[in-house]
Amino acid sequence: MPFDYSLDFDTIDFRKHPELYRVGRGEQGVLLVEPYKSEILQHWRFKTPDIAKESSEKIYQMFLDYKENNDFVGMDMARKFIQMGYTRARRYTNYKGGKKYDEDGNVNERQIDPVKAESASIFMEKWKLAREDKEYLALKKEHQKKYG
């Protein structure tokens, strides 16, 4: 089921109302779902490999903490932030300033930034751990079956 963008995200506490949460595809809703967005976003960084390592480890630990509390929505949001760490670092790896398109809508020439590539690789490792976690996958299946 697709992510439900029609909800009033300013008023919903998804920890209290996990039944309203839809997984969606990829990173959908990553910057909307509270209180998780506020809890996780402050730790999300990828500018250098050292920063990416610290960030990905912190967010992955949050994933594990949510898991310990049987909080699927928290786990999924942490997974999304880790995934977004990878995808944004890759964007900055390939395009100076992270700008894929110029003012006219044309794709800019790729310029590989090895520092950002390393940051992306660091996030990729944690993303694989999160998305392949057996308990996460079971909770995801259960949540989708129960709520869509």
pLDDT tens for residues 94-136? 998 889 999 999 999 898 899 999 999 999 999 999 999 999 9
- What phi and psi values does residue 107 have, to the nearest 5 degrees? -70, 130
**Segments making up each domain of the chain, as ranges:** 18-147
Mean pLDDT on 20-33: 94
139 residue type, one letter: L
Q: Is the dihedral of CA 10, 13, 17, 21 positive or negative?
A: positive
Q: Which of 22-26, 39-43, 52-56, 130-134 has the lowest mean pLDDT?
A: 22-26
